[in-house]
A = this chain, B = another copy of it.
Amino acid sequence: MASSEIESVNILANEFSKLPGVGKKTASRYAYYIVSLSKEGAKTFADAILNVKDKVIMCEECGNFTESSPCPICRTRNSEIICVVKEPKDVLAIEKSRSFNGVYHVLHGTINPMLGIGPNDIRIRELLDRVNKNNTKEVIMATNPDVTGDATALYIAKLLKPLGVKVSRIAQGISMGSELEYADEVTLSRAIEDRKDI
């Protein structure tokens, strides 16, 4: 450690560097911001971190994060259509789009043999139980459009079809506002394959 470095600041920067997408330099900027805070400001920050771990639990129905189980979405919405996502933050993204009014099912991961994540490591069993128990009409597979997301969607679809439920996959294509020129080849070929009549 160089003489200009401060141990407690380094320890904090190391914590910040664990945040998604944060490198060493950014982590160090964040740590210096904390040093510049008042003592009360730092305490508020630390309390917010502890508070989240005290209060946030997993909804026993859908697996989303919530402060009360079942979560407000499971409690209040029609459960005929279930939208399956990889992570809790995906629920937030879809909710912000205001395009879906049913309930969710959070898998907490996707099948990924490279990382040793098999079908039993994510919440697939719980999804089948829900579909069996309730009058589910449709399951929308909204896992990410990548290799593991696609594979997981197909795997779950195979398990669901014998139960007589409709299974769909979110559309893939060119993003709104983007330019064809800069789209990657797979996206472009899917957009052409899945073209719609107008």
| A35, B52: Cα distance in complex, Å | 6
Contact B42 A8 (CB under 8 A): no
Could you tell me the distance in whole angstroms from the C-beta of A92 to the nearest C-beta in chain B? Answer: 6
Q: Which residues of B contact A155 (CB under 8 A)?
A: none
Q: Are A4 and B50 in contact, with the CB atoms below 8 A?
A: no
Residue in B12, B14, B28 whose CB lies within 8 Å of A89: B28
Bound-state CA distance A72–B3 (Å) is 6
Q: Are A47 and B46 in contact (CB under 8 A)?
A: yes
* Chain B residues positioned under 8 Å from A91 (CB to CB): 4
- A3 adjacent to B76 (CB under 8 Å): yes
Interfacial chain B residues near A7, Cβ < 8 Å: 55, 67
For A29, what are the chain B residues with a Cβ–Cβ distance below 8 Å?
A: 19-21, 89
| Across-interface contacts of A88 in B (CB, < 8 A) | 32, 35
Interface flag for A81 (CB, 8 Å): no
Distance to closest chain B CB from A121 (angstroms) = 15
A window 1-17: CB within 8 A of B: 2-9, 11-12, 14-15
* B residues less than 8 Å from A9 (CB atoms): 52, 56, 65
Contacting pair A11 B56 (CB below 8 A): no
- The interface bits of chain A over 92-103 (1 if a CB of B lies within 8 angstroms of the residue's CB, else 0) are 100110000000
A18 neighbours in B (Cβ, 8 Å):
33
Q: Which residues of B contact A37 (CB under 8 A)?
A: 53
Q: Which residues of B contact A43 (CB under 8 A)?
A: 50, 53
Q: Which residues of A contact B (CB under 8 A)?
A: 2-9, 11-12, 14-15, 18-21, 26, 28-35, 37, 39, 42-56, 64-67, 72-73, 76, 87-89, 91-92, 95-96
Q: List 21 A-B contacts (CB under 8 A).
A: A3-B73, A3-B76, A4-B72, A4-B73, A4-B91, A7-B67, A8-B48, A8-B55, A9-B56, A9-B65, A11-B51, A12-B48, A15-B48, A15-B49, A20-B29, A21-B29, A29-B89, A32-B87, A32-B88, A32-B89, A43-B50
